[in-house]
Amino acid sequence: MTSLDLKMPIAVQASLRRFLPLGLVTLTAVGCAAVVYVVIRGPALSRLEQAKTAYQSAKQTQDQLHRTRAFQEKARTAQQQVEDVWKELPTQNEFASFAMAISEVGRLEHVSIPGMAYHVEKAEGSLPVKATLTFKATGDYGAIYRFIHRLEMTEPYLVIESLDAARLDKSDRASSTLLVFNVKVATFLRPNSP
């Protein structure tokens, strides 16, 4: 015998024939699953990537819109604050009464203000202008203290630019209780309404 002749027994062949339809169904199912996996998975992954990209883009746009809205709200608040400050500033016509009010505060606190000098800068368009009052205030320490305190608290946009003090009588420093303060106050004036 030159070749080995292998033959299956007939009983084994018959049992294999019974499983042949089941094997074919299994191979067909596996083949279909592989085709479905390849055909559906590729486009699904592509759609998933597109959806992720669209989500990230929408999220960035939403974040930008939130930042823009917050910035606009801050700008609106700042604009309202500027308008409130603008309304509270005295006008150029009210500057004389402003000086009279400072004199009245001095009189109420027993501080003598013999005279005032003022300077109003030149107006440029509708911008506020700086106005300064310079005067000497004479009184005892407590009265000057109360006067300065009331100046700082009464007008919100009044700034004491300079303040220096000296005794009234330089020859008798020990017995002199009166002080002389050179005061320079400034404020901003809005233009007169037309």
More confident residue, 59 or 15: 59
Counting the structural domains of the chain, the total is 2
Residues 179 and 96 in one domain: yes
Check whether residue 72 and residue 149 sit in a common domain. no
What CATH number should be reported for the domain holding residue 157? 3.30.70.60
72 with 154, same domain?
A: no
Mean pLDDT of the chain: 84
List, for residues 155-166, the tens digit of each pLDDT value. 777 888 998 987
Domain boundary among 88, 117, 133: 88
pLDDT category, 72, cuts 50, 70, 90? very high
Question: Are 80 and 114 in a shared domain?
Answer: no
129 and 145, same domain (yes or no): yes
State the average pLDDT over residues 130-135. 91
Question: Do 153 and 84 sit in the same domain of this protein?
Answer: no
Residue 5 located in a structural domain: no
Q: Do the domain assignments include residue 72?
A: yes
The reply to whether 98 and 175 lie within a common domain is yes
Same domain, 139 and 184: yes
Q: Is residue 66 part of a domain?
A: yes
- pLDDT at position 1 is 46
Within this chain, do residues 18 and 80 fall inside the same structural domain, yes or no? Answer: yes
Averaged pLDDT for residues 123-149: 88
According to the model, what pLDDT value does residue 39 have? 82
Find the domain containing 174 and state its range. Answer: 92-189
The residue out of 88, 110, 138 marking a domain boundary is 88
Cα–Cα dist 154/106, whole Å: 12
**pLDDT, tens digit, 9 for 90 and up, residues 8-43:** 677 667 777 777 788 888 889 888 888 888 888 888
Last residue of a domain, one of 88, 103, 128: 88
Helical pair 141-154 and 95-108, crossing angle rounded to 10 deg: 140
In a domain? residue 3: no
CA distances from 64 to 53, 56, 57, 60, 93 (A): 16, 12, 11, 6, 47
